[in-house]
Structure 1
Amino acid sequence: MKLFMATLSTETNTFSPMPTAMSGFEEFYLRHGTATQDSPNLMTEALHLWRRRAEAMGWEVTESLAAIAEPAGPTIASTYDALRGEILSDLEQASGADVILLQLHGAMVAQHVEDCEGDILQAVRSLCPDAIIGVSLDLHCHLTEDMLSAADLIVTFKEYPHDDAAPRARELFDLALRMTREEIRPVSGMFDCRMLGLYLTKEGEMQEVVREMHALEAQPGILSVSLAHGFPWADVADVGTRVLVITDNDAELAARTAENFGKAFFARRDAVNASYPDLDTALDRAMTSTDGPIVLADMGDNSGAGAPGDATFVLREVLKRGLSDVAAGFYWDPVVLRICKDAGRGARLSLRLGGKVGPDSGDPVDIDAEVVHVASGLGQHLGEGLEPLGTMVWLRLANGVDLLVNDLRTQVYHPEAFEQMGIRLATKKLVVVKSTFHFYAPFRAITTRVIQAATPGGASPDFTTFRYLGPGSECWPFVDDPFDTAGNKLSNTHDLDQPAV
């Protein structure tokens, strides 16, 4: 047996003014067939697992591209063409494969291709019409007809924050292996829930939703159940939450199960979606607590959802209120970082921080700061994987306000990002993290209270602040009952044993 595998991952915020260029992949993660020689990260864990499993059975393994970029705006056409072309060229040079497994994101948009993953899968299918093709996706994906018609197997992460990349990669490999042995004949059903939302799976109603998905997979004939949350900051044709059910040669069961689960999920829309306080309310609540540290998430400036990472709205209000004993990060400002790095530790500088990309960043903030520490080559954990941090500087302002500034756009995942720079979070009253959900579990372990704030910015959780021109405007929460408005065109059944080419 011959296995071919690759990774291509970025999440496209179509409202972002920052294009995703090759430099975005080069500075974050770009390997040409050598990713399994590195320590795994979120999007390469699958490659490590697949290689181990395949080689243990004596399969021949061809490892192709592993390219990951922090979310931003649409990918430059030439960049996408080059990355796509490398995968296809490697597949041709390998003379095809019996099994092709890809770790993609599912929400990548290029300047000239709205559905990049569907485009890649269709091209792979054209090259290898008889191969078993499986793809693992981030749950913030857009499930599309091109993906379903080209792939035999699609599995998405179930957990947000994503700590189940390895189990989902294992699930995909197991299903593909069963196909090679002709034990199963997968068919799928998909249901469009017509919802835009953010669903944290670690507590409340969403924990029960995930349990129900696993329970369905234990029923006879059902092979896999995926809830694609969708990536809501994308004005594309297939935006929104969708359910995908794969069964063993039972199209009616797949369609019925997906529709029943999807309709039940829509009925729980208020329970699975949280409401978030605005910035002033969030800070008011934080300041009423006598215990520390209180963790406040600056959700609107989460670079992991395509925001710039240099917004100053929270910092300006912290300084205006004269708050003390505060840690905040990360502020993406390569200009400030360069100045601080050149000046060195101990330097006292007047700096103009953040607010550089556009209106969603706010205005720059003028600060007087001491350069306490500068470091490069650090990382922070996201699950088992280690994510890069670039070069970082710790700036100390008056009143014990400590800021982390870096030159690599990335969100906050773990307290270790602050601690390894020397900032002791236990001494702080307030810790501000530019993130949405991925920070949650590690920070919840060090605090009595987490406040997620609907701050202004390019990744605001208030979707009504964005202007959707496509089908997103016909989804809940823009429409109370999108099924009456848009029509129930939601059950699509595919025999994935006979893919369209």
Structure 2
Amino acid sequence: MTDTDAFRAFYCHEGDDVLSALSDTANEVGGFDDAARAHGWTLVPTVATFATPGGVVTDHAWDAFAGRIFDTARHQGPFDGVVLSLHGAMVRHDGTDGDAALVSGLRSILGPDVPIAVTLDLHANLASSLCDKAEIVMSYKTFPHVDMRQTGRKAAEALQTRMQNGRSIRTVVRKLPMLTLPEGGRTDSEPMSGLIALAARIEESSPELLDVSVNAGFSLADVPEIGPTVTVCHSDAQTIAEAAAERLASEMWDARNAPTEALLTPAEAAQLARAHDAVSPLVLADPSDNPGDGAYGDATNLLAHLIQHGGQDILFGALCDPAAVHIAQEAGAGQTIQIRLGGHFDPSFGGKPLSVSAQVMALGDGRYVCDSPMWNGVEQSCGPSALMRIENVEVLVTSAATQALDMNIFRALGVEPLHKRVIALKSTQHFRAAYAPAAERIALVDGAGLASPSLDRLQFARIPRPIFPFDPVTRTYHGDQ
């Protein structure tokens, strides 16, 4: 389960700290503040927090963070408008949609006349009820998400328009009967790059269309809201917006069987690593153990093959093993320890623990500030951490499951990723924002972790059926639901 400690461990800012920490970063809050400065708003910040995707959000965390937002809405108004940065795939302890519940709760408190604007991650599993309660709904257009601040500014500008002239703004939503778009909707390749381009052309075709977004959906959530969606935010143009949503939804459905990038086995990845001799590094990425998809982050299959067969000068991370970090801290930097590394959560997903001798190279508190295009300027934490050398591989071991999507997570412990021959990461796509410009080659690996693209290993009980790719589906898309 995802409790308050998971949010506070990654980053958590409350009250006035929200603006001081995030206004000058590549975060949606930076975009909100851009609009506030431009239009003379007085912002009343509540809480900005993030947790690595994992289990359902506990009632305790919900009461702590959503409760603070509700209390602010009740006691610090009246408000002219509300702008929220949400993910769009939060699942509460009872299995219900947390994002929709938050917006619904605010609507109940604020009444029908206070406009609400919402930004979403491109991977939202969007409930149509959220669009019923919030007038303005917009999503990122990039994966990796390098347009967070721009999306925040765009939503805030639409809110300014709504507050200034009072014209009706609404959002149309269409949901497709499928788990996700191919490759999670990565926007640097087809079919998503073409869909995003089409969405931009449709948006530009009419001044009444304020935003057209494509949500790829999040396939590793067992919820009724699962699946890709189109949202079209419009100003008094319902018919135009519905036609736009239907056109784009049809194109999305036609792209459901688009080819995807091949995934190597860990053995094949190790062979590729051994043969790599270019000046720039080879980057291996294992989507199957990506904490950003809710995986455990402690799979060992790829690491074991790299130790045995990958050659020299390899950097691997981040592997989540709090017990190993504790042992390293007790021993101290420079010492050699005997540990059983990784594979503790469920060895059936990604491999069993590795019994290894490891030299503790460096120790740290896990705090770092991102400087890549995604989350630039945002301070994050992976918890107490250790850099360990296991034969030919330097391994970043953390106390919290975290994507090493920014190179500063390694640099905080004194290692420069760009000086390594091979870099192996637990990530699906976000890593490309930082690593792609410097990599000689990128290869994806299926280490058989919990987030493996082989979804038939998982059991779904709450998703709607029929649904692609599990069932024959003849209809092209759902309408408003």
Stretch of structure 1 that moved more, 428-437 or 234-243: 428-437
Q: CA deviation at 1:472?
A: 5.7
Aligned partners of 1:188 and 1:26: how far apart in 2? 32
Structure 2 equivalent of residue 392 of structure 1: 385
1:224 aligned counterpart, secondary structure: strand
Aligned partners of 1:250 and 1:272: how far apart in 2? 36
Is contact 2:273–2:310 with CA below 8 Å preserved after alignment?
A: no
1:471 aligned counterpart, secondary structure: coil
Q: How many residue pairs align between the two structures? A: 469
Find the partner of 1:325 among 288, 309, 313. Answer: 313
Given residue 59 of structure 1, which amino acid in structure 2 is its aligned partner?
A: W
Is contact 1:71–1:304 with CA below 8 Å preserved after alignment?
A: yes
1:160 aligned onto 2:143: yes
Structure 1 equivalent of residue 395 of structure 2: 403
Find the partner of 2:288 among 300, 306, 318. Answer: 300
1:200 aligned onto 2:186: yes
Aligned partners of 1:167 and 1:326: how far apart in 2? 36
Structure 2 equivalent of residue 239 of structure 1: 226
Relative distance call for 1:290 and 1:48 in structure 2 (3 A) is closer
Is contact 1:190–1:259 with CA below 8 Å preserved after alignment?
A: no
Find the partner of 2:97 among 101, 115, 123. Answer: 115
1:380 aligned onto 2:370: yes
Is contact 2:86–2:120 with CA below 8 Å preserved after alignment?
A: yes
Deviations 1:201-222 (CA, angstroms, capped at 9, x unpaired): 1234432322222221111132
Aligned partners of 1:271 and 1:183: how far apart in 2? 43
Q: CA deviation at 1:280?
A: 3.1
Deviations 1:472-499 (CA, angstroms, capped at 9, x unpaired): 66322223x52x2xx5661229xxxxxx
Identity of matched residues, %: 26
Is contact 1:96–1:127 with CA below 8 Å preserved after alignment?
A: no
Is contact 2:195–2:248 with CA below 8 Å preserved after alignment?
A: no
Structure 2 equivalent of residue 148 of structure 1: 131
Q: CA deviation at 1:144?
A: 0.6
TM-score normalised to structure 2 length: 0.91
Given residue 347 of structure 1, which amino acid in structure 2 is its aligned partner?
A: Q
Q: CA deviation at 1:114?
A: 1.4
Aligned partners of 1:119 and 1:47: how far apart in 2? 21
Aligned partners of 2:394 and 2:28: how far apart in 1? 37
Deviations 1:388-413 (CA, angstroms, capped at 9, x unpaired): 33332111122x31111112321011
Counterpart mapping for 1:364-375 below 5 A: 364-375=353-364
Counterpart mapping for 1:78-477 below 5 A: 78-129=60-111, 130-182=113-165, 184-195=167-178, 196-197=180-181, 198-220=184-206, 221-271=208-258, 273-291=260-278, 293-321=281-309, 323-359=311-347, 360-376=349-365, 377-381=367-371, 382-386=374-378, 387-398=380-391, 400-471=392-463, 474-477=466-469
Unmatched 5+ stretches in structure 2: none
Is contact 2:253–2:476 with CA below 8 Å preserved after alignment?
A: no
Stretch of structure 1 that moved more, 323-332 or 421-430: 421-430
1:372 aligned counterpart, secondary structure: strand
Deviations 1:349-398 (CA, angstroms, capped at 9, x unpaired): 11111111123253111111111111233333434243333332111122
Structure 2 equivalent of residue 498 of structure 1: none
Is contact 1:240–1:472 with CA below 8 Å preserved after alignment?
A: no
2:231 aligned counterpart, secondary structure: strand
Aligned partners of 1:380 and 1:168: how far apart in 2? 19
Q: CA deviation at 1:182?
A: 2.2
Aligned partners of 2:267 and 2:192: how far apart in 1? 28
Is contact 1:119–1:146 with CA below 8 Å preserved after alignment?
A: no
Q: CA deviation at 1:108?
A: 0.5
Given residue 124 of structure 2, which amino acid in structure 1 is its aligned partner?
A: C
Aligned partners of 2:229 and 2:261: how far apart in 1? 19
CA RMSD of aligned residues (A): 2.2
1:477 aligned counterpart, secondary structure: coil
Is contact 2:95–2:223 with CA below 8 Å preserved after alignment?
A: no
Relative distance call for 1:445 and 1:304 in structure 2 (3 A) is same
Aligned partners of 2:148 and 2:332: how far apart in 1? 40
Is contact 2:57–2:91 with CA below 8 Å preserved after alignment?
A: yes
Q: CA deviation at 1:253?
A: 1.6
Relative distance call for 1:431 and 1:489 in structure 2 (3 A) is closer
Aligned partners of 1:311 and 1:325: how far apart in 2? 21
Deviations 1:430-452 (CA, angstroms, capped at 9, x unpaired): 21101111101321222211011
Deviations 1:403-428 (CA, angstroms, capped at 9, x unpaired): 11112321011233334433344553
Given residue 282 of structure 1, which amino acid in structure 2 is its aligned partner?
A: A
Aligned partners of 2:454 and 2:464: how far apart in 1? 13
2:424 aligned counterpart, secondary structure: strand
Aligned partners of 2:9 and 2:171: how far apart in 1? 38
Aligned partners of 2:37 and 2:310: how far apart in 1? 59
Stretch of structure 1 that moved more, 338-347 or 181-190: 181-190
TM-score normalised to structure 1 length: 0.88
Aligned partners of 1:98 and 1:238: how far apart in 2? 30
Is contact 2:291–2:401 with CA below 8 Å preserved after alignment?
A: yes
Relative distance call for 1:472 and 1:295 in structure 2 (3 A) is farther
Stretch of structure 1 that moved more, 214-223 or 135-144: 214-223
Aligned partners of 1:88 and 1:183: how far apart in 2? 25
Aligned partners of 2:169 and 2:102: how far apart in 1? 21
Stretch of structure 1 that moved more, 61-70 or 370-379: 370-379
Aligned partners of 1:83 and 1:94: how far apart in 2? 16
Aligned partners of 1:429 and 1:311: how far apart in 2? 22
Given residue 202 of structure 2, which amino acid in structure 1 is its aligned partner?
A: L
Counterpart mapping for 1:460-499 below 5 A: 460-471=452-463, 474-479=466-471, 481-482=472-473, 484=474, 487=475, 490-492=478-480
Aligned partners of 1:247 and 1:322: how far apart in 2? 53
Q: CA deviation at 1:290?
A: 3.6
